[in-house]
Amino acid sequence: MEVTPSNSFLGLVKRVERSVWFQGFIISIIIIAALTVGAKTYSLPYEVELAINYLDTAITVFFLVEIVLRFISYEKKRAFFKDPWNVFDMVIVVGSLMPISDTDMILVARLLRVFRVLRLVSIIPDLRVLINALLKAIPKMGYIALLMFIIFYLFAAVGSIFFENVNETLWGDIAISMLTLFRVATFEDWTDVMYETMAVYPFSWIFYVVFIFLTAFVFLNMMVGVVLDVMTQETSAKEHQEQEDNHQALVNQISELQKQVQALSEKLDKPKD
């Protein structure tokens, strides 16, 4: 196969875009971008603020060049848009090009500049695995959240019935009671709530102990278990895919070597004139 200038350029772009040093440089730029976002929240001298604005513009241009190089490195351009991380990065970069002054979209533009920090997730593979696992765990976590809501609702109804005369501010209706139970579940001064009801109902501590056991221990551990299970599946699938890729690469190398040996054998067996 003849190497054309376009193929040579595409190969060069791939090597640069996927090199370790380039990825590390991108991570450094993202960190600098995050620091500039934080710096803008302080009152700074005019010269420093002007320098940060210039730096922010340079970072935006660099991100634009980087996303263009990544797009060029794909032989099939449609494959670029099939990767959701590429689409995410493109939205952030394109949104960062919006002017942030004298426009109605100033808040959106500023938010997109803040969200550039999230590009660390798309750059670092281990973070992508974590986010993918979390997204895949959401359906299972939804059922656990539904069960938690049912428990909250039942305990809120019981608390509103029995404790309304103790403190109407905390147990006046079922909505306020659920908010109070959320406070109890997060251990935010929950003993004050318990001792207040125990002054009227001495055995009301059973209500709180059972509720905390279900929410803070059982359901929380179920949430963690679901995420860990999905992460384990993701890691196993990734390792399996890497093994298959290595196996396929080895098979291709052996096949190519066999072809070369066969060609050499045919050349040696060919009678001389």
Whichever domain contains 214, its CATH number is 1.10.287.70
* pLDDT exceeds 60 at position 103: no
153 lies in a domain?
A: yes
Q: What is the mean pLDDT of the chain?
A: 80
Report the distance separating Cα 208 and Cα 216, nearest Å.
Answer: 11
Q: Do residues 29 and 74 both lie within one domain?
A: yes
Q: Do residues 197 and 244 both lie within one domain?
A: yes
Q: What share of the chain has pLDDT > 90, as a percent?
A: 19
Domain boundary among 92, 123, 154: 123
Report the distance separating Cα 10 and Cα 4, nearest Å.
Answer: 10
Q: How far is CA 135 from the centre of its chain?
A: 8
Mean pLDDT of 144-162: 92
Domain boundary among 74, 89, 123: 123
Whichever domain contains 36, its CATH number is 1.20.120.350
Q: Do residues 180 and 213 both lie within one domain?
A: yes
Mean pLDDT of 126-148: 83
Question: How many CB atoms are located within 10 Å of the residue 13 CB?
Answer: 17
Which residues are within 8 A (CB) of 98 and not within 5 positions of it... i.e. 6 or more apart? 105, 108, 109, 112
Q: What share of the chain has pLDDT > 70, as a percent?
A: 86
- Domain interval for residue 67: 18-123
Q: Do residues 150 and 242 both lie within one domain?
A: yes
Domain boundary among 64, 98, 123: 123
Q: Do residues 65 and 156 both lie within one domain?
A: no
For residue 3, the model assigns a pLDDT of 42
167 lies in a domain?
A: yes
Q: Do residues 115 and 166 both lie within one domain?
A: no
* pLDDT exceeds 50 at position 1: no
* pLDDT exceeds 70 at position 223: yes
Rg of the Cα atoms in the chain: 30
Mean pLDDT of 28-43: 81
* pLDDT exceeds 90 at position 208: yes
* pLDDT exceeds 80 at position 68: yes
More confident residue, 52 or 264: 52
